[in-house]
Amino acid sequence: MTNNPDPPQEVPELDQWSIDRLLLGYPPDPAAGPSAAGIWALVTAARSPMSAAERAGEATVLAGFADAIRTGRPAGLRRAPMLALSTLLGSKLALAATLGAVALGGLTAVAYAGDLPAPAQQFAHDSVGAPSAHHGRPTPTAKGPDATGKAAYGLCTAYRSAGQHGNAKTKSVAFRNLATAAGGEPNIAAYCAKIPHPGKSGDHPTRPPTRPPTRPPVSHPTGPPSARPTGHPGPHPTGRPPGHPGHHR
Amino acid sequence: MTDAEFDALLAEAIAGDGGAFGRLWRDSQPMLLRYLWVLVGDRAEDLAADTWLDVVRRLPSFRGDRAGFRGWLITIGRHKTIDAQRRSARRPERLVAVCTGIEAASGQDPSEIVTERLSTQAALRLIATLGPDVAEMVALRVIVGLDVAEVARVVGRRPGTVRVAVHRGLHRLALQLTGGDVTPVPPATLLGRDDQ
């Protein structure tokens, strides 16, 4: 209203129902007055589309996601490789013994079966994508690698290697998983023949259909929030019909 | 994004599809980042990235729709913020907003903005001037779009407290935006603590 010549002007307080409507995304009535216009300006600005600057963090987060999918390791533990490296240096004798004992193909096979000492297992995990050593957390290794997921190629390589060397690794959890994925031990060779080399085409050529390759090994230390809203927020005005007559206090 | 689209993207993201996860990120990142900005200013970007990495880790355990996802995301971001502030040995029991200096830094007269298009950054600065408690509640209503009951759950206050605080906060901002008379209200006295 511009009738009042004296600044500051009187701005009547909006009623609760009008505020709720604006926050639900309904534009103010043209006769609603300056207060509604001000709040509407605030709402539209606060919910504007993402700017280029706001998108700057996308690469970091998507890399974290890809890393978590690739390694099956929680993305929140991004320092894990460094910790693994220091552990590795501390255990270099054990690693050297392992490296000396097996050729690379054999190492890969052992690694995929999850049978290396933890530091070496982590090294193999980081370098060839074998299952992680899991740093002594409550062990998910009883589950073994997901033979329907990204570990399939490695498991198949290990399976072939084990067959060539007459190795008895076929009793391991990993190979039982592979057999399960293949629909039985006799079908492993046929199953493996269909597994493409990872990284040749597409991001996740052997992506599992319904779940990530490896579940996070720990149950949530801080827990999902207990107060999870279940309503429908956001700029979609689905809550209240425009013609609501009453005040909402 | 419809709820059905969200459900499909969520399933694909949980299955490891980076493209689907990227779309979820683009859908919710603006409101997360802006909410965090009101709380912590320029540290918001780091906290948002940290929040999303936590989301990556916990995504397989999430159950809910798009609205539930946003509330979940916001709550994780809020906990990250509180943790960060505890680590920096500030007042550990509550969020500390960075309203100090924001008003001066904006260098803009809000009443001049309303006739043109209010920029997002100016809107966030304005909200942050309300003081930590009210600013957060207003941000959750205005930026994130949570309703009063949802805001009350996130911040651990009574719905009536949230409703009154948001109403008064918005009225104050409306006055600023329209060049009306604003009587500054110290945030500490605007709202009594009603936490149990």
* Cα angle B4, A237, A38; round to 5: 140
d(CA A119, CA A129) in angstroms, rounded, equals 14
pLDDT band at B172 (very low <50, low <70, confident <90, very high): very high
pLDDT band at A73 (very low <50, low <70, confident <90, very high): low
d(CA A44, CA A22) in angstroms, rounded, equals 10
Instruction: Render pLDDT for A97-113 as a digit per residue (tens, 0 to 9).
Output: 444 444 444 444 444 44
* CA neighbours closer than 13 Å in the CB half-sphere of residue A75: 25
Q: What amino acid occupies position A3? A: N
- Whether the pLDDT of residue B4 is over 60: the answer is yes
**Best mutation target, B7, B23, B52, to test chain A (most A CBs within 10 A):** B52
A8 preceded by a cis bond (ω within 30 of 0): yes
- Whether the pLDDT of residue B132 is over 80: the answer is yes
B49: contact with A, CB 8 A cutoff: yes
* Cα angle A12, A18, A20; round to 5: 130
- Whether the pLDDT of residue A23 is over 80: the answer is yes
- Whether A42 sits inside 8 A of B123 (CB atoms) is yes
Strand stretches in B5-98, DSSP E = none
Question: Percent of chain A at pLDDT above 70?
Answer: 33
* Contact assessment for residue A129 and residue A163, using Cβ atoms and an 8 Å cutoff: no
d(CA A11, CA A144) in angstroms, rounded, equals 67
- Whether A46 sits inside 8 A of B16 (CB atoms) is no
Find the length of chain B: 196
pLDDT band at B21 (very low <50, low <70, confident <90, very high): very high
Find the length of chain A: 249
Instruction: Render pLDDT for B72-99 as a digit per residue (tens, 0 to 9).
Output: 999 999 999 999 988 876 554 445 444 4
Residue with tokens 């009008």: A18
Instruction: Render pLDDT for A105-146 as a digit per residue (tens, 0 to 9).
Output: 444 444 444 444 454 445 445 544 445 544 434 434 445 566
Q: Which residue has the higher pLDDT, A183 or B189?
A: A183
Instruction: Render pLDDT for A167-179 as a digit per residue (tens, 0 to 9).
Output: 444 556 666 777 7
Q: Which residue has the higher pLDDT, A235 or B19?
A: B19
Q: Which residue has the higher pLDDT, B128 or A6?
A: B128
Instruction: Render pLDDT for B104-117 as a digit per residue (tens, 0 to 9).
Output: 334 445 555 444 56
- Whether the pLDDT of residue B123 is over 80: the answer is yes
Residue with tokens 């700029």: A235
Alpha-carbon torsion, ordered A185, A187, A190, A195, to 10 deg: -60
B82: contact with A, CB 8 A cutoff: no
Cβ-Cβ contacts under 8 Å for A182 (sequence gap 6 or more): A147, A188, A190, A191, A192
Q: Which residue has the higher pLDDT, A121 or B155?
A: B155
Q: Give contacts of B 116-175 with A, CB under 8 A.
A: 117-120, 122-124, 126-127, 139, 141-147, 149-150, 153-154, 156, 163, 166-167, 170-171, 173-175
Q: What amino acid occupies position B43? A: R
By C-alpha distance, the chain A residue nearest B120 is: A45
Listed range (A60-64, B136-140, B141-145) with the worst mean pLDDT:
A60-64
Question: Could you tell me the maximum CA-CA distance found in chain B, to the nearest angstrom?
Answer: 55
Interface predicted TM-score (ipTM) of this complex, two decimals: 0.80
DSSP string, A81-122: HHHHHHHHHHTHHHHHHHHHHS-HHHHHHHHHTT-S-HHHHH
Listed range (A46-55, A234-243, B56-65, B154-163) with the worst mean pLDDT:
A234-243
